Amino acid sequence: MPTDMTRRQKMWATFKRNKTALVGAVVAAIIVFIAVFAPWLAPYDPLVQDPFVRLQGTTEAHWLGTDDFGRDVFSRIIWGSRVSLIIGLASVALGLVAGTGFGMIAGYYRGKVETGIMRSVDVLMCFPDLILAIAVTAALGANLFNLILTIGIVMIPRFARLAHGQVLSITESEYVLSARAVGAGVPRIILRHIFPNIFGDLLVAATLWVGVAIRLEANLAFIGLGVSPPTPTWGNMIRQGIDVMINAPWISMYSGLSILITILAFNMLGDGLRDIADPRLRGA
Amino acid sequence: MFNYIVRRILQAIPILLVVLTLVFLVVRVLPGDPAVAALGDYASKDAVLALQERMGLNDPLWLQYVRFLGNLLTGDMGTSLVTGYSVGKQVVQALPYTLTLTISAILFGYIFGVPLGISAAVHRNSFIDYFNRIFSLVGLSVPAFYLGVLLMYFFSIRLRLFPVVGAGDPGDLGSLLHHLFLPALSLGLIMTAYVTRMTRSSLLEILREDYIRTAKSKGLAGRVVLYKHALRNALIPIVTLGGLYAVVLIGSSVMVEIVFSRPGLGKMMVGAIQQRDYTTLQSVMALYTVFVVVINLLTDLIYGLIDPRIKYD
């Protein structure tokens, strides 16, 4: 379909011109690359301790220094990217699928179904993200799977509210009404007519919320509710670095910087995508 | 207006009730027996049974639930399983530390964020606009606890300008403020980023409206157009989103309290989880959700005040 192609080409051209989005995408891609190829990129085993090089600053052998067990901070940061990215991406995917599902059902069926779903969303939104995450993690126990589940649960109401609002604004549009008039079934209408039209906005939100999820994971790890040590995560590295902050500030500094850069990359990408999706907001 | 306020308050009550029920249930599914947690793993079986009985853990769930709600209503939050002190008293001690921290951060955010956002919107694509955009992007991305760690390192450890941890001497205002500064700055900078960004974007949107063009073409002074016509309308989203960000800030305050060892509610809650102190945990969690419901309520009320389109019938 040539019209579709030109539209896509136009979007790609807009994307390339949007420096924020481009920088965000490149940095995010580099971080994903680092996480995937961590075993080959890390110069040292992140768990191997060496008491002879405890708390060393930057040296030729250890670019970002060592921690109080003599472990290489650079290698631990490289490996730490895995936990952050896996939890960030998987929990947002979970929230996207479940939350969008609930939101679309609520928006399409209206009535009691809508009231039930959306009031539950209101209730969940009464918990600050972190408080809800702390409670659920404490109940489930902290491991990789449960953290994905926990942060996914925090993400569900956000996506549900967004999808619900979007669906409400298009269920009365002519193409949905005509699909209904020619006798299309509800699943078909939702999946073929409504979903493709709200997917763009959901994707933009998802990109921005990956940053939120990564930050949440770091918060949990910092208060000791993350993936348990010795597995390196950026959050537990900052925590561990605080105890030796006076002599070895680099452990906390560099791990925190990694979190900041990663979240920044996803936020820049999300901002840029939003500008492309809605040109009226460009630069807003 | 009176009816509007009463209606909003009445609407908040069922939500509050459901939220509190959820808090009660979440604390009940936490792993581990509170009685064992309180007495330690080596306590005798009789002692554990006796404590379970005394804590009412053997009563049916509905009875525990009714008791939980009744106690909350009367302000009795029970006794801490770890310290043995009244949870209510501990909350009263911790609350001012959390409130001063979050309120000063919100004030900081609005005092600096609104002017920054206005200048960025008015001088669009200028140096100040770019600076603001980078500042707010970084501010929206940085975790509050990391910012706290950075500020603590530079201002407390390196420059020795501020105390590293603690909240100061309760009887000495100077000491309290001295200890408050860095934690409030950590949260305040993040709030400033939020406020700057939303002020800028909502003002930019308004400045494009027809009535602004009309006001300008009438020959009104730029300042009048900006402050009387544009800013007043831009305030509506600033207030609504401000309420939303205040809720985010409450979450972040937990982290900042932990970094600076500030004896507020957040530190109390995390301590309660680590020590399986379930009576304290459920009270603090309940209090946090009450905050959110109240903030949402206040946002709605302020929204009603500044937006004349909202009818109070």
Q: Is the peptide bond before A230 cis (omega within 30 degrees of 0)?
A: yes
Domain boundaries, chain A: 45-264
Q: Which of B43, B73, B103 is the last residue of a domain?
A: B73
Question: Nearest CA to CA, how far is A33 from chain B (Å)?
Answer: 21
The contacts of residue B59 (CB under 8 Å, 6+ apart) are: B67
Q: Which residue has the higher pLDDT, B155 or B239?
A: B155
Query: What pLDDT band is residue A1 in, cutting at 50, 70 and 90?
Result: very low
pLDDT in tens, A232-283: 999 999 999 988 888 889 999 999 999 999 999 999 999 888 877 765 555 4
The whole-angstrom separation of Cα A131 and Cα A119 is 19
pLDDT in tens, B14-42: 888 888 888 888 888 777 777 777 777 78
pLDDT in tens, A197-235: 888 889 989 999 999 999 999 999 998 898 988 899 999
Same domain, yes or no: B97 and B230: yes
pLDDT in tens, A159-171: 999 999 888 888 8
Candidate from B22, B146, B205 with C-beta closest to A259: B146
The whole-angstrom separation of Cα B235 and Cα B241 is 10
Contact A175/A255 with Cβ under 8 angstroms?
no
Q: Is residue B313 part of a domain?
A: no
- Distances in Å between the Cα of B296 and the Cα atoms of A131, A158, A183, B37 are 17, 16, 42, 36
CATH code of the domain covering residue B220: 1.10.3720.10
Mark out the alpha helices in chain A (DSSP H runs): 2-17, 19-36, 38-41, 73-109, 111-125, 129-140, 144-171, 174-181, 186-188, 195-222, 234-242, 250-277
Question: Nearest CA to CA, how far is A49 from chain B (Å)?
Answer: 25
- Distances in Å between the Cα of A229 and the Cα atoms of A47, A267, B135, B162, B276 are 10, 28, 34, 32, 21
Chain centre to alpha carbon of residue A268 = 13
- Give B246's contacts in chain A (Cβ within 8 Å): none
The topology (CATH level 3) of A45-264 is MetI-like fold (1.10.3720)
Q: Is B31's Cβ below 8 Å from some Cβ in A?
A: yes
The whole-angstrom separation of Cα A25 and Cα A272 is 9
Report the pLDDT averaged over residues B112-137: 91
Q: Is residue B205 part of a domain?
A: yes
- Complex prediction ipTM: 0.89
Q: Is B123's Cβ below 8 Å from some Cβ in A?
A: no
Same domain, yes or no: B58 and B186: no
Split into its structural domains, chain B has a count of: 2
Q: Is residue B78 part of a domain?
A: no
**DSSP code for A228:** P
Same domain, yes or no: B44 and B112: no
Residue of chain A whose alpha carbon sits nearest to that of B284 = A131
pTM, full prediction: 0.89
Calculated CA dihedral for residues B21, B22, B23, B29, nearest 10 degrees: 110
The whole-angstrom separation of Cα B270 and Cα A135 is 10
The whole-angstrom separation of Cα B143 and Cα A84 is 13
pLDDT in tens, A56-77: 878 888 888 888 888 999 999 9
Average pLDDT, chain A: 88
For residue A20 the two structure tokens come to 């924020």
Domain holding B223, by residue range, is 88-306
The contacts of residue A79 (CB under 8 Å, 6+ apart) are: A38, A42, A46, A232
